[in-house]
Amino acid sequence: MFRNESPATKKIKIMPRSVNSVAKRARRKKVMKQAKGYFGRRKNVWTVAKNAVDKAMLYSYRDRRAKKRTFRALWITRINAGARQHGMSYSQFMGKMKVNNIELNRKVLADLAMNHPEAFEAIINKVK
């Protein structure tokens, strides 16, 4: 019994703190592996690498969605350029495509306009 304790109080044995170093090391290794190729301390200092990888993951999530928008814009630009060579605007061309029930998506039309101009011209003549 200690000097300041009452006789009713007993010393309770406390278990040692349990830490899972194996899992901790695995988590850190995973993040450091993802940070491979980064510049400066971002590649080898844990706290900096963790922040850099978190930010990179946010960018990759966001840009997987943005990529779809940018490709659609690119396809529209290519179709517009191809249609204007034959005296028609993009909106006129797409409107006539819908009226004539020609169901080709913008990705295919853009590929035809770029790589197969004779096939694209055949489509233009069909809708005119």
Is residue 102 a contact partner of residue 126, using CB atoms and an 8 Å limit?
yes
DSSP collapsed to 3 states, 36-86: CCCCHHHHCCHHHHHHHHHHHHHHHHHHHHHHHHHHHHHHHHHHHHHHHCC
pTM of the predicted model over 0.85 = no
CATH number of the 23-127 domain:
1.10.1900.20
Q: Across the chain, what does the average pLDDT equal?
A: 93
| Mean pLDDT, range 35-61, rounded to an integer | 97
pLDDT band at 89 (very low <50, low <70, confident <90, very high): very high
The dihedral built from the CA positions of residue 67, 73, 76 and 80, taken in this order, carries a sign that is negative
Domain boundaries, given as residue ranges, for the chain: 23-127
